Amino acid sequence: MKYIESIKMQVIVILIMQGISLALIAFLGLMEILMALVIYFFINLILMGWIVMTLEKAKKTQDVELSRILGNEAKKALTVGMIGIIAIDENRDITWVSDFVQQRNSKLVGKKFTSFIEEVNQLFEHQLDSVIGEHNGYLYEISRKESGSIFFVRDVSVVETLTKKYEEDSVVVGIIHLDNYMEVSAYEDEATITAINMGLRQPIVEWATHYGMLIRRLRSDRFIIVLNEKVYREIANDKFDILNNTRKKAHELDVSITLSMAFARGSDDFSVLDDMANDLLELAQSRGGDQAAVKRYGLDVEYFGGNSEAVSKRSRVRVRVMAQAINEAILESDKVFITGHKTMDFDCMGANIALSRVAQACGKKTYIVSQSGGIEMYLQGALDFYEHELSLRHTFISEEEALRLQGVNDLVLVADYHNPTHSNAPALLENAKRIVVVDHHRRTENYIQKPLLMYIESGASSTCELLTECFEYLGNEVNINEVEATFMYLGIIVDTNRFKMRTGFRTFEAAAQLKKLGVDPIEAEDLLKEDYEEFEAKVNIFKHGEVYREKFMIACVDDDAILARTMMSIGADALLAIKNIEASFVIGKTKLQVSGISARSKGNVNVQRIMEEMNGGGHFSAAATQAEDTTPQQLKAELLNQIDLYISSQEEQNDESNITEGC
């Protein structure tokens, strides 16, 4: 291509020089010579013009016919298949195009490759194999050969259009559940029920109809909806505004009703979508409701909403059914192993001790797996203090001992966790054929698969509260002494920050029942008292505290001190007592190469959502996370970013709710 341009320039220079010569001769008055030269000049002009036109034509046409390379049949096949070829030089100028490209645009040769499709830059800058871009109303896929100078062009307009339509028309199955509707409507008069139906149920139907969904009521508190991917994206872009609208309307009606929503996507197998939707609804409800759980087949679950604290929805009937199911599972087993989570706390140990007494009441050999996975320092102090009394009534073993004793028909009771990665005895859990889970944490996607029973109540303050309620419904009388009741009581007061958070009337009923069993509240408080070194550590946390966005208190202890997780949670609770602070976060090293965050909230900020975005979890008002090979300052930077995103999402939801109300 450069060679052709060079010849053209030489021809033009020759013509210019000849013109100058003619002008000079005319100026000197040499008419005879002038006439001869004029004739010669015009002959040269015609010849040179023909050369220039030939070169220009050669530039705009193919240097090498495609048929010479691939043959006539292959050439026709590429044209019919709407596939072209483009060659470029080292400056990314187009030097040659095949017939197909020539027909679509006859003025590409000699121009920059990016003048055809701008996206081709990504092929060079990001080392991609192919890109898709638009030119003159057509969509093209550009892919390159290994040489880097030959590119294949394929018209994918029809394919992309059909692909987009297929994706937009993909079926999405959803389930909508009115949380607590049955419990509320059971005790209200007809006028109130009518107001609830008109204010809460009817708007759901209108919302679904507005977006063009198919909606059918399954029962008084549950709907099934069928929509496509395009509609799903619309409601997702609107942040599932029906959640906020329902919550606000329920507040106006003074009823504790929220929505739980589940959306299953990404499969054309309706049985798969049905199973996914039901699992997602259970997941959303076990996390406290007032949220949407969404899953695309093969991907992780996403959560939207969750802006209100979990409300206890368990009835006495459910407690009785669960208690009897736990009792039956124990009776049908040979031996019972009880496990807790890593770094056990009072709620975990109190629940383990309670389950141990339940299993012993059924006449089963029972083991508490507590000598693996770590124990919090305050709990360790209490275990040391009551070591003699506990050793007479319970058998504490390690995971290795449990594995040696484990049989096929043995039962593993899981208390205060449901994520298998949190277990202090993961190998025992993996080998178990019979598992029962009792927990009060909001359920995550990663949970123990196929247990005999899963009793998860995120509305409960603690696992100890759940088990205390079960005692009166068990077939065998459970003998709980003063020490065991004290551990369970400590589990409740620690998880509720001394009855300040996540408490309901059931929490105080459980505490009262434990008091009847002999709890000494003063002695229990003594077990939680800190010594001078711990007090100094808490003061050090306060020293690093700083206010962020007016209502967040963040204490990043970035020195070399190792903070116990218990001390971090105590520090976070203490920071929450500062005026105008809605949420607190304590950041520090929990191990040499591990940093963690303990988060607390008064109930207006969902710290669980913030921690989940940082691969952690917990409750609406109490959560945590940790990360390996990360410094406290790095974790702090990530936390600040997540807080900003959380505030932005809350502001967007509030704005959309205000717009809806204004309409």
Which CATH number do you get for residue 573? 3.10.310.30
CATH of the domain at 360: 3.90.1640.10
In a domain, residue 6? The reply is: yes
In a domain, residue 662? The reply is: no
In a domain, residue 663? The reply is: no
Last residue of a domain, one of 144, 164, 184: 164
Across the chain, mean pLDDT equals 83
Say if residue 388 is in the same domain as residue 507.
Answer: yes
Say if residue 188 is in the same domain as residue 144.
Answer: no
Q: Tell me whether strands 83-88 and 150-155 are parallel, antiparallel or unpaired.
A: antiparallel
**Rounded to whole angstroms, what are the CA distances from 324 to 362, 474, 478, 486, 615?**
12, 6, 13, 25, 36
In a domain, residue 661? The reply is: no
Say if residue 364 is in the same domain as residue 467.
Answer: yes
Q: What are residue 617's phi and psi, to 5 degrees? A: 175, -165
Last residue of a domain, one of 286, 305, 324: 305
pLDDT reported for residue 55: 54
Which range, 292-306, 348-362, 613-627, has the best average confidence (pLDDT)? 348-362
| Alpha-helix residue ranges (DSSP H) falling in 218-335 | 229-237, 241-253, 270-286, 316-331
203-260 confidence digits (pLDDT tens)? 999 999 999 999 999 999 999 999 999 999 999 988 898 998 998 898 888 888 889 9
Say if residue 193 is in the same domain as residue 293.
Answer: yes
Say if residue 373 is in the same domain as residue 489.
Answer: yes
Q: Which of 489, 422, 443 is nearest to 462 (CA)?
A: 489
In a domain, residue 150? The reply is: yes
Q: How many structural domains is the chain composed of? A: 5
330-347 confidence digits (pLDDT tens)? 999 999 999 999 989 999
Q: Which of 600, 617, 606, 619 is nearest to 650 (CA)?
A: 606
Q: Which two tokens stand for residue 516?
A: 């009847």
Say if residue 537 is in the same domain as residue 638.
Answer: yes
Query: Would the pLDDT of 482 be above 80?
Result: yes
Say if residue 458 is in the same domain as residue 392.
Answer: yes
CATH of the domain at 111: 3.30.450.20
The model carries a pTM of 0.60
In a domain, residue 382? The reply is: yes
Say if residue 79 is in the same domain as residue 187.
Answer: no
Which residues have CB under 8 Å from 133's CB, separation 6+?
117, 118, 119, 120, 139, 140, 142
Share of residues in the chain with pLDDT > 90 (%): 42
- For the ranges 1-10, 520-529, 592-601, which has the lowest average pLDDT? 1-10
Alpha carbon distance 379, 467 (integer Å): 19
Query: Would the pLDDT of 355 be above 90?
Result: yes
Alpha carbon distance 22, 196 (integer Å): 102
The model's confidence at residue 7, banded by pLDDT at 50, 70 and 90, is low
pLDDT reported for residue 67: 46
Say if residue 332 is in the same domain as residue 229.
Answer: no
- For the ranges 54-68, 78-92, 613-627, which has the lowest average pLDDT? 54-68
Say if residue 75 is in the same domain as residue 124.
Answer: yes
pLDDT reported for residue 65: 46
In a domain, residue 310? The reply is: no
Last residue of a domain, one of 485, 507, 527: 527
Q: What are residue 251's phi and psi, to 5 degrees? A: -65, -40
Q: Which domain holds residue 122?
A: 66-164
In a domain, residue 448? The reply is: yes
Say if residue 158 is in the same domain as residue 185.
Answer: no
Say if residue 37 is in the same domain as residue 112.
Answer: no
Over residues 259-265, the mean pLDDT reads: 93
Alpha carbon distance 153, 286 (integer Å): 52
